[in-house]
Chain A
Amino acid sequence: MSAILIIEQVLNGLQFGVMLFLMAAGLTLIFGVMGLINLAHGSLYMVGAFAAAAVAGVTGSFVLALAAAMGAAAIAGVLVETLVIRRLYRADHLDQVLATFALILIFSEGTRWAFGSFPLFLDTPSWASGPVTLPGGIEYPKYRLMLIGVGLAVAAGLGLLITRTRIGIQIRAGENDREMIAALGVDISRLYTLVFALGAALAGLAGALVGAIQSVQVGMGEPVLILAFVVIVIGGIGSIKGALIGAILVGLTDTLGGIFLPEVFKLFMAPAGATATGSALASMAIYILMGAVLIWRPTGLFGARP
C-alpha cells in the first residue's frame, strides 16, 4: 500500500469525521447541552434532506435547497418542542425515549406518505462537484472539502455559542435546574424552543449537505442517529470540543479499520477468511472504540467528571 494512499485514507477518515460532526452537531446541542434524549433527531435530518430535494427539484438552486432544509427542519423542531418535548422536561428520560420513538414512526411514515417509497434525487451543485488536486497529487472531491469547511465552522460557532455567550450559559443552567433559572428571570421555555429549533436546523442542514452525496430516503436518519449518539458519548456529553474529537476518532476508526483490518488479517490468515474476518471486525470497530473509551473514561473524553 503506497504512502500516498495511506495519507489519502487518513484524509478520508478526517473528512468522514468532520461530516459525522456535522450530522451530530444539532444533537450535540439538544442532547449534549440541553440534556434531552431526542430519538427523533434523525427524522429532522431526514426532513431537511427531503425539503432540500423537493426545493432543488423545483428551483434548481442548491443554496435555496439548503435554506429550505434548515427552515423545514426548524419548523418541525419548533412543532416537536412545543407540542411534545416541552411537556417532558420534568419527566423521566424514559418518557422522552418513548415519545421521540413515536415521533420517528410518525415522521418516517408521514414522509413516505408525502414523497413515496423511492429515494429522491439531490445532487451536489455543479459549482462544487468534481475533484480538485491537492498538494502531493491527491485528487479530492471539491464538495467534500466544502463539507469539512462547513463542519468546522459549525463546530467553532457552536463552541462559541455555548461557552462564550450568555445564552450558552443560560442553556446550561437550564439543564442543571430549569425552575431555578426561570425564577431568576430567564424565559427558559422560549430559549429552549429557540435552541431546539437551532439544533433542528443544523440537523436539517446536515441532512441536505450529506444527502447530496448519499441517498435521500425514508429511514436515512436512523443510522445517523446512532452514529451521532456514539460520537457525542465518546467525546463526553455537553462538550462541543469532545463531540468534534469524538467524531474525528470515529471517522478515522471506521475508515482505517475498513481498509487496514482485512490487510492485517491477511498477514496470518487465508485471504478469503481474512477479508471476511477483517471486515466483520471493521463493522464493529466504532462500537469497540466506544466501549473501550467508556471503560477507560466512564464519562467520555471530555465529559464532566462526577
Chain B
Amino acid sequence: MSLLSLRNVTAFYGPAQALFDVSLDVAQGEVVALMGRNGMGKTTTVKAICRMLPARGALTFDGQDLTRLPSHRAARLGIGLVPEGRRCFANLTVTENLIAAARPGPWDMDTVTALFPRLAERRTQTAGTLSGGEQQMVAIGRALMTNPRLLILDEATEGLAPLIRDEIWQAIARIKTETGTAILVIDKSPAELARVADRAVILARGETVWTGAMDALTPEVSARFIGL
C-alpha cells in the first residue's frame, strides 16, 4: 500500500482553479519525481498535500484522510516540507530555525550539521542575513529535523552551488536507502532526478499526464511534457 496517495485531486486559488485532476502515489521508501513545466501545478500539488490550500478529491497519507486535517496535523503524521522559495524564519537564528519544529528521531542537530557543515559555522546568525544557498540548507535541515516519513522537496537545490547540489543528491540517495524515508521531489534538473528517483509523475495544466518508472521516461515523453 502506498504511503501517500492522491486521486483526482482538484484545488483552487480563490476563484481560479489550479489543479484539475492530479493523481499520484508515493510508497514507503520510494523516491518519486514530480515534473512539469513552470506553472503547471507542482507547487500547488505540494500545497494541497500539506493542507496549505483546500483541495477536493481523495488525499490519504498512511491510510488517513488528509482533507479533514489542518496543516499541522498533516505534518505530524510525518510529512516534512522543504517549500519553494525556502521560507526560512528570517528573524530566527539558524539554530532556532532548525529546532523550532524538531521532533525526535535520527535527524538531530548533529546529523544535520554533519550534512551541512556550513550551518554549524553560521549557527547564531539570523536566517534573514544568510546567503541564498545557506538559507536553502536551513530549509532542508529544518524539514529533516522533523524526522518525517515522507520528505517533500520543492526545488530544494535552487540556488545551490554544483558541489553542494551533488551532496544533496547523495544525501537524498542515502536517506532513501538508509532510513527508508519516502521522498517526493521537484527539481528542474532531469538528469539529477533520473539518478535518484524510482518513478516520475508529470503534470501539465494541473493534470497528471504521465506516470511511470523513471527509466520509462523516454526523450519523447520529456520533449512533450517538460520541454527537453
A and B touch in the complex (CB under 8 A): yes
Question: Which residues of chain A have a CB within 8 Å of any CB of chain B?
Answer: 166, 169-170, 172-173, 175-177, 179-189, 238, 304
**In the complex, how many angstroms separate the beta carbon of B68 from the nearest chain A beta carbon?**
15
Contact call B100/A169, Cβ cutoff below 8 A? yes
Q: Contact partner of A183 among B71, B89, B92, CB < 8 A? A: B71
Contact call B70/A181, Cβ cutoff below 8 A? no
**Chain B residue at minimal CB-CB distance from A179:** B52
Contact call A185/B89, Cβ cutoff below 8 A? no
- Hey, which chain B residues are within 8 Å of A186, CB to CB? 72, 100-101
Q: Is residue B50 within 8 Å, beta carbon to beta carbon, of the partner chain?
A: yes
Contact call B92/A185, Cβ cutoff below 8 A? no
Which one of B52, B75, B142 has the highest number of Cβ atoms from chain A below 10 Å of its Cβ? B75
Known contacts A169-B100, A179-B71: A184-B92 contact under CB 8 Å:
no
Known contacts A176-B89, A183-B52: A169-B75 contact under CB 8 Å:
no
CA of A186 to CA of B50 in the docked complex: distance in angstroms? 13
Q: 10 A-B Cβ contacts within 8 A? A: A170-B101, A172-B96, A173-B89, A173-B100, A176-B89, A176-B90, A176-B92, A179-B52, A184-B75, A304-B126
**In the complex, how many angstroms separate the beta carbon of B92 from the nearest chain A beta carbon?**
6
Per-residue 0/1 for B55-93: is the Cβ within 8 Å of any A Cβ (1 yes, 0 no)?
A: 000000000000000111101100011010001011110
The 10 closest A-B pairs by CB, nearest first: A185-B75, A184-B101, A176-B89, A182-B71, A173-B89, A185-B76, A187-B72, A173-B100, A180-B87, A182-B72
Contact call A181/B81, Cβ cutoff below 8 A? no
Known contacts A179-B52, A185-B146: A172-B75 contact under CB 8 Å:
no
Contact call A183/B91, Cβ cutoff below 8 A? no
**In the complex, how many angstroms separate the beta carbon of A25 from the nearest chain B beta carbon?**
21
Contact call A166/B89, Cβ cutoff below 8 A? no
- Hey, which chain B residues are within 8 Å of A175, CB to CB? 91
CA of A181 to CA of B71 in the docked complex: distance in angstroms? 9
Known contacts A173-B89, A176-B89, A176-B91: A184-B100 contact under CB 8 Å:
yes
Contact call B90/A180, Cβ cutoff below 8 A? no
Known contacts A181-B89, A184-B146: A169-B99 contact under CB 8 Å:
yes
**In the complex, how many angstroms separate the beta carbon of A304 from the nearest chain B beta carbon?**
6
**Chain B residue at minimal CB-CB distance from A190:** B72
CA of A16 to CA of B185 in the docked complex: distance in angstroms? 58
- Hey, which chain A residues are within 8 Å of B92, CB to CB? 169, 172-173, 176
Contact call A184/B143, Cβ cutoff below 8 A? yes
Contact call A183/B100, Cβ cutoff below 8 A? no
Q: Which of B74-127 contact A (CB under 8 A)?
A: 75-76, 80-81, 83, 87, 89-92, 96-97, 99-101, 103, 126
- Hey, which chain B residues are within 8 Å of A169, CB to CB? 92, 96, 99-100
**Chain B residue at minimal CB-CB distance from A177:** B87
Contact call A180/B89, Cβ cutoff below 8 A? yes
CA of A238 to CA of B70 in the docked complex: distance in angstroms? 28
- Hey, which chain B residues are within 8 Å of A183, CB to CB? 50-52, 71-72, 75, 81, 83
**Chain A residue at minimal CB-CB distance from B76:** A185
- Hey, which chain A residues are within 8 Å of B99, CB to CB? 166, 169
CA of A6 to CA of B101 in the docked complex: distance in angstroms? 51
**In the complex, how many angstroms separate the beta carbon of A167 from the nearest chain B beta carbon?**
10
Q: Which of B141-173 contact A (CB under 8 A)?
A: 142-143, 146
Q: Which of B19-70 contact A (CB under 8 A)?
A: 50-52, 70
**In the complex, how many angstroms separate the beta carbon of B128 from the nearest chain A beta carbon?**
8
- Hey, which chain B residues are within 8 Å of A181, CB to CB? 89, 100-101
**Chain B residue at minimal CB-CB distance from A163:** B96
- Hey, which chain A residues are within 8 Å of B71, CB to CB? 179, 182-183
Which one of B73, B81, B89, B143 has the highest number of Cβ atoms from chain A below 10 Å of its Cβ? B89
**Chain A residue at minimal CB-CB distance from B152:** A183
- Hey, which chain A residues are within 8 Å of B100, CB to CB? 166, 169-170, 173, 181, 184, 186
- Hey, which chain B residues are within 8 Å of A176, CB to CB? 89-92
